[in-house]
Amino acid sequence: MFSKKKKNENQDPTEQNQDPITENGADAQVNNGENNAEGAENTEAAPELSAEEKLQQENAALNDKYLRLFAEFDNYKRRTQKERVELLQTAGKDVIVSLLPVLDDFDRANKAMENNNADLNAIREGVALVHNKLKGLLNQKGLKEMESVNTVFDTDLHEAITKIPAPNEDMKGKVMDVLEKGYTLNDKVIRFAKVVVGS
């Protein structure tokens, strides 16, 4: 008897208390497991949303989507409007740049005419060259001169300034003279020809 008591006394006090702790720990683990299971059931058994609440959520989601799309479209409109303004401001740049050499040629012709000893024929030839150069550049850009004389008067192409008696029956209703040439740009009339029509 004595030896058993001594044995128990010699044991570490922490070892003596281990069994109750493990038992309590196991109980705590079991209790925690039960609590976790109950918590899971509670989340699963959360009250379902009513039809009205579901509709409110859908409405909020659709409203948010609508606002985002509206903002995106508004940004798109602003961006395209800005691009259009920039395009209009620089649209004539190609034509103007191509006309600069013609302007230089006219400057040279003016300098040549300032010289009193200038040959009139040489100046005339120079001006004709500049004129042809300008016409060539404009033709490259799609500009075409209308041929109106001796053609039937057409209100889509011509603007009648006056009527004069026709010299013969064939010239009635036809263009007899052109006061101002008409032009088309890429087959679209940009200036009507001002003409005299035979009657």
Asked, for residue 199, whether it belongs to a domain, the answer is yes
Give phi and psi for 4, each to the nearest 5.
-65, -40
| Residue 80 banded pLDDT, cuts 50, 70, 90 | very high
**Does residue 124 form part of some domain?**
no
Residue 110 inside a domain? The answer is no
Q: For residue 37, is it within any domain? A: no
Residue owning tokens 């004595």: 2
In a domain, 198, yes or no: yes
User: What region does 31 belong to: left with phi over 0, alpha with psi -120 to 50, or beta?
Assistant: alpha
Residue 47 lies in a domain: no
Q: From CA 88, how far away is CA 101, in angstroms rounded?
A: 23
Domains in the chain, number: 1
The pair of three-digit structure tokens given for residue 27, joined into one six-digit string: 């109980």
Which residue segment(s) compose the domain that 183 sits in?
144-199
Task: Assign residue 195 the CATH number of its domain.
Answer: 2.30.22.10
In a domain, 181, yes or no: yes
Tell me the one-letter amino acid at 39. Answer: G
pLDDT in the model for residue 26: 46
Q: Give me Rg for the CA atoms of the chain.
A: 49
Q: How far, in Å, CA of 62 to CA of 160, rounded?
A: 62
Rounded percentage of the chain residues whose pLDDT exceeds 70:
75
* Residue 54 covered by a domain: no
Give the model confidence (pLDDT) of 124-167 as tens digits. Answer: 888 888 888 888 888 888 888 889 888 999 889 999 999 998 88
pLDDT, one tens digit per residue, over 15-55 is: 444 444 444 454 545 455 545 545 544 455 556 778 888 89
DSSP line for 27-83: HHHHHHHHHHHHHHHHHHTPPPPPHHHHHHHHHHHHHHHHHHHHHHHHHHHHHHHHH
